[in-house]
Structure 1
Amino acid sequence: MNITVLVAALSGALAVAAGAFGAHGAQGQAVEWLKTGAQYQMVHVVAALIALQMGARAPAWLFLAGGLIFAGTLYAMALGQPRWLGAVTPVGGSCLILGWLWLAFTAVRAG
């Protein structure tokens, strides 16, 4: 079993569920948090799968971890958890940025 693909698939399912809840069950600021989290998470699930196809496992894991941290903190706040979790959100964003930079480095190095 490919654990990275499994995590990507579950992350994609979570993104769809969060987006659906944001569109049909949430109100106020929670709608935007869910929408933003779902969008970033889904984009980075796809990026992780592409990175895996390129043989770039480290960027794939950064995309998945960053997406889960970034979106997860937004989802938690949307579900009523304390707003200080918003201070953790940039940690996920930093992982996403690092994943893109690492992927670029991998592409340059591969020629």
Structure 2
Amino acid sequence: MKIFTMIASISAALCVALGAFGAHVLEGKIPERYMDTWQKAVQYQMFHTIGLFIVALLATKWPNVTPAGWLMVVGIVFFSGSLYVLSLTQIKILGAITPFGGVSFIIAWLLLAYVAMKQM
């Protein structure tokens, strides 16, 4: 589906920009703990951006894979998004949102496996 290719492309560009922002702007301005959190957000966003590209490719043959793609989008927003905001604001309660994104990622990958099994 074109929508997942577009979202994944934008997300990949954001990963590069946010990674560079962290390395060149935030370095030394926020505590090391939050730099690690920022980098974890970038890393997981990129992993799941690649997952979105995979979903986009599979969706041409397996249309029922699209819910997995949307769960990856939700996961990126809640997991990585909450970690970005947490790193910048250092408001620890924001970390309570992160697990919702993590669960979305897990369900997305399991759903992808389920769809693949049904295609056998």
* TM-score for both structures, normalised by structure 2: 0.84
Equivalent in the alignment of 2:88: 79
Alignment equivalent of 1:49, drawn from 48, 53, 56 = 53
Q: CA deviation at 1:5?
A: 2.2
Which is further off, 93-102 or 45-54?
A: 45-54
Is the partner of 2:89 in helix, strand or coil?
Answer: coil
CA distance in 1, matches of 2:43, 2:87: 15
Equivalent in the alignment of 1:68: 77
Q: CA deviation at 1:74?
A: 0.5
CA distance in 2, matches of 1:94, 1:46: 18
Mapped contact 2:4–2:55 kept (Cα < 8 A): no
Which is further off, 96-105 or 72-81?
A: 72-81
Q: CA deviation at 1:18?
A: 1.8
Q: CA deviation at 1:4?
A: 2.5
Unaligned runs of 5+ in 2: 60-64
CA distance in 2, matches of 1:7, 1:83: 29
1:30 maps to a residue whose letter is Y
CA RMSD of aligned residues (A): 1.6
Unaligned runs of 5+ in 1: none
Equivalent in the alignment of 1:6: 6
Equivalent in the alignment of 2:62: none
CA distance in 2, matches of 1:61, 1:49: 12
* TM-score for both structures, normalised by structure 1: 0.90
Paired-residue identity, %: 38
Q: Deviations over 1:58-108 (max 9, x none)?
A: 111111220121000000011115221100000000000000000000110
Q: How many residues are paired up?
A: 111
Structure 1 or 2, whichever has the larger Rg, is 2
Task: Could you list the structure 1 runs, at least 4 aligned residues long, displaced by more than 4 angstroms after superposition.
Answer: none
